[in-house]
């Protein structure tokens, strides 16, 4: 019984890791295709990929006079 539980947990973890790697891979491919690292992310996949990779866009702040 313990072996079955360990197998189920292992399969769940492997699926989660595979899903995360898949999202990051899809986001990187979209960013490379669109050459869009200088603008805000266009969809949730690229937003998640940037977040998982620690990439963000700095925008200049507008100062009021």
Q: What is the pTM of this model?
A: 0.61
Residue 16 has pLDDT above 80, yes or no: yes
**Alpha carbons 37 and 57: distance in angstroms, whole number:** 7
Per-residue model confidence (pLDDT) at position 65: 64
Helix (H, G, I), strand (E, B) or coil at 33: helix
Which pLDDT score, from 0 to 100, does residue 5 have? Answer: 92
Q: 22 and 48 in contact (C-beta within 8 Å)?
A: no
Q: How many CB atoms are closer than 10 A to CB 48?
A: 16
Tens of pLDDT, residue by residue over 25-56, are 888 787 777 776 777 777 787 788 888 877 77
Domain ranges, ordered by start, for the chain: 2-53
């Amino acid at each position: 019984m313990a072996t079955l539980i360990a197998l189920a947990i292992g399969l769940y973890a492997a699926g989660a890791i595979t899903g995360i790697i898949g999202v990051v891979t899809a986001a990187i491919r979209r960013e490379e295709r669109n050459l869009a690292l200088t603008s805000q992310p266009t969809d949730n996949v690229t937003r998640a990929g940037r977040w998982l990779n620690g990439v963000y866009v700095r925008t200049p702040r507008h100062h009021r006079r």
